Chain A
Amino acid sequence: MTQHLRKKRREAFVLGNEAVVEGALAAGCSFYAGYPITPSTEIMETMARRLPLAPDGVFIQMEDEIASMGAIIGASLAGRKAMTATSGPGFSLMQEQIGYAAMTETPLVIVDVMRGGASTGLPTSPGQGDVQQARWGAHGDHPIIVLSATDVPQCVEMTVAAFNFAEKYRTPVVLLLDEITAHTREKITLPEPGDFEIFSRLVPTMPPEWYKPYEETLRGVPPMPPVGSGYRFHVTGLTHDLLGFPTSRPEEVRALVERQFRKIDRFFQDVQLVEHVDTEDAEVLVVAYGCVARSARLAVKQARDVGVRAGLLVLNTLFPFPRAHVEKLMRTCRLVVVPELNVGQISREVKRVNEGYTAVRTINRIDGQIITPSQIFKEIA
């Protein structure tokens, strides 16, 4: 009834990187710390202009990526929704602190706009080589959530999802983009209040002296007060007891790490963001993410046009790996094709889930060029 009375939605023609900022602000992000690096820089530059306009918005350019991670950890402990963005080499520098954030259960969003190559590699060319780094880059066993986006509108949605997951599960969340998605300009509808369900971390309501910062709860995620609010406790990267104090007693260490994994395992379905395209009757399945999923979408359509029952599973969540979705389709398809801009970082996961049941074919490019629809079409039709 009131639908047609609503004022016209504002639209904008923006880069993927700029869309990330729209998503972040819609999710309530009020703190950004970063260090410039191609091809993620527009995220930082847009934040530098936008955050000072928000009440209490803080933007700070730090001396390096390690410092940027430290600053957003501090800001998050102080109660802010905080993020940083970087690309491959900077992402590597952040890894120790990503592990710290996982161990201390500090909500954060890290956007990594992947570029080609190891080392300095191909700074302005696309790649998807940081997938396993996002999962296992930090030392030690730790849970983490890794998301990815295929186009500019999705950059908004996935950034919001990243903040929501970070806050809900008190964990660092990595959003992996690739250079093409980040630097493609597309029309988006600018988010308005109420467009998205926004989740903020739970804060304790009990008296401070009752509060145990790392205690098991029904959700497995303890509430988290901002520093300075009267709940004084110790935060450490050492394995710690329920009060946060360092411990190396096996039973306390095991309980801590198991809870950290369990809090995400338990809500596995909630964090599985995938898109099914023509998968109901598919006998050939393409599994893709990022810019490659766009090529795959066209390839699948072309294959359907020539009578091949092809389907596409777009992975927006890369980790925890959406096993349930992939596994089910694996049992009904005769062939699974995994195109990606690396030597096979997600096909490795697909093969792991498959356990030899279905034929898995990979298409890999590591020369800074995109995988075209025709390249995928050739493999599936």
Chain B
Amino acid sequence: MAEVTQLIHQYLRHNKKFPLVFCPGCGHGIVLGSLVRSVHALGLSKDEVVIVAGIGCSGRIAAYVDFNTVHTTHGRALTVATGIKMANPALTVIAVMGDGDAFSIGGNHFIHAARRNIGVTALVLNNFIYGMTGGQCSSTTPEGAYTHTSPMGQPEASFDVVELARAAGASGVARGTVYHVKALDGLITAALAQPGFNLVEALTPCFTQYGRGNGFKNPVAMFQWLKERAVPLEAYEKLEQKDGRIPIGVFVKRDVPGLETRYAAMCREFREKKGGAA
């Protein structure tokens, strides 16, 4: 406990009004904890970490942590993160986004950030719903789920975020849940340490907007659901009957230098060539 308190004092903003804005039963605070522990584990200084967040519940995380924090417009966190990373590659840039943020309004930015392999860690808090806006469906809402904009059940299919990131060319792709906290700590730590574009999808329950409308009795039931459905990748592959199970763990791990590194090398070479020619 003492250790936890110490971390809080070290990384959270003393002049920010607590408690957090999140509803009871929300998993976002757990992801925030994981993020802080990962930064701590890597020994990064608070000055070299930049959190760029989008709009919505997840976007509010940025205000609470004592890093360089930027709360951007809806869906554009990755574009701002790209600008910061290209302008100053020495910084550790983390884009904290929600599912609607990253894959609906920001879907185009997401695939392009993965394709150009910019050295940014995308931490997506996936709760399958627009929480702060009041419970509308997002592009990760499971088919059939009830939301305020899918009162008859969501007729559209949802993105498999892991496959999307893999296909777009991300350097690292991982999925965890807020129930499996230790594992999530590890996934975020590994993502922050690996060069290139890294996605960590953190499944986090939203009881207020999603759970109540979809047959969950209380927040505990949602955590129970995560516990039962999520299966480590190796075990998942051996399963004969997948029936609705969700694989978690590391899906892609490619040690490829980020765009900022490749770009700087290219410019250096270009300048030398031009210098030699003149």
Which A residues fall within an 8 A CB radius of B?
Answer: 31, 33, 52-53, 57-58, 60, 62-64, 66-80, 82, 96-97, 100, 226-230, 232-238, 243, 245-246
Contact = CB atoms under 8 A, between A and B. Distances in A.
B263 A58 contact: yes
B85 to A, nearest CB: 8
B145 interface: no
Contacts of B82: 60, 62, 67, 70-71, 74
A211 to B, nearest CB: 12
Contacts of A68: 79
B69 interface: yes
A78 B73 contact: no
Query: Most A CB atoms within 10 A — which of B76, B112, B271?
Result: B76
B70 interface: yes
Contact of A234 (B47, B63, B88, B271): B63
A74 B87 contact: yes
B68 A74 contact: no
A228 B68 contact: yes
Contacts of B185: none
A236 B63 contact: yes
B62 interface: yes
Contact of B83 (A74, A226, A233, A243): A74
A63 B66 contact: no
20 contacts: A31-B83, A52-B266, A52-B267, A58-B263, A63-B112, A67-B79, A67-B112, A70-B73, A73-B72, A76-B83, A80-B87, A82-B83, A100-B73, A228-B68, A230-B47, A233-B69, A234-B70, A235-B70, A243-B15, A246-B63
Interface string B62-104: 1100111111110010111111111110110000000000000
B180 interface: no
Contacts of B70: 74, 77, 227, 234-236
Given A53-B270, A228-B90, A238-B71, A63 B84 contact: no
Nearest to B109: A67
B163 interface: no
Nearest to B267: A52
Nearest to A230: B47
A78 B72 contact: no
A232 B83 contact: no
B182 interface: no
Given A52-B270, A60-B86, A71 B79 contact: yes
Contacts of B267: 52, 57
Contact of A53 (B67, B86, B88, B274): B274
B88 A71 contact: no
A196 to B, nearest CB: 23
Contacts of A228: 47-48, 50, 68, 88, 90-91
A100 to B, nearest CB: 5
B76 A97 contact: yes
Interface of B: 13, 15-17, 46-48, 50, 52, 62-63, 66-73, 76, 78-88, 90-91, 108-109, 112, 263, 266-267, 270-271, 274
Contacts of A73: 72, 79-80, 83
B71 A234 contact: yes
Given A60-B82, A63-B109, A227-B84, A70 B76 contact: yes
A72 B88 contact: no
Contacts of B87: 31, 58, 74-75, 78-80, 82
Contacts of A79: 87-88
Nearest to A60: B86
Contacts of A33: 83
A56 B250 CA distance: 34
Contact of A63 (B47, B81, B85, B108): B108
A74 B267 CA distance: 21
Given A52-B267, A74-B52, A79-B88, A232 B108 contact: no
Contacts of B109: 63, 66-67, 70
Nearest to B63: A234
A82 B84 CA distance: 11
A74 to B, nearest CB: 2
Nearest to B67: A232
Contacts of A63: 108-109, 112
A79 B67 CA distance: 17
A232 B15 CA distance: 13
B73 to A, nearest CB: 5
Contacts of B274: 53
B92 to A, nearest CB: 10
Contacts of B67: 232
A234 B69 contact: yes
A227 B90 CA distance: 11
B268 to A, nearest CB: 9
B46 A232 contact: yes
Contacts of A76: 83
Contacts of B84: 74-75, 77-78, 227
Given A60-B82, A75-B83, A75-B84, A232 B68 contact: yes
Contacts of B83: 31, 33, 70-78, 82
Query: Most B CB atoms within 10 A — which of A97, A232, A233?
Result: A232
Given A63-B109, A245-B63, A226 B88 contact: yes
Nearest to B62: A234
Given A53-B271, A68-B79, A79-B87, 8 more contacts: A71-B82, A75-B87, A78-B83, A96-B73, A226-B88, A234-B70, A235-B70, A245-B63
B86 A31 contact: yes
A237 B56 CA distance: 13
Contacts of B266: 52
A158 to B, nearest CB: 24
Contact of A62 (B47, B66, B79): B79
A241 to B, nearest CB: 10
Top 6 nearest A-B pairs (CB, nearest first) are A74-B83, A70-B79, A71-B83, A78-B87, A236-B71, A74-B80
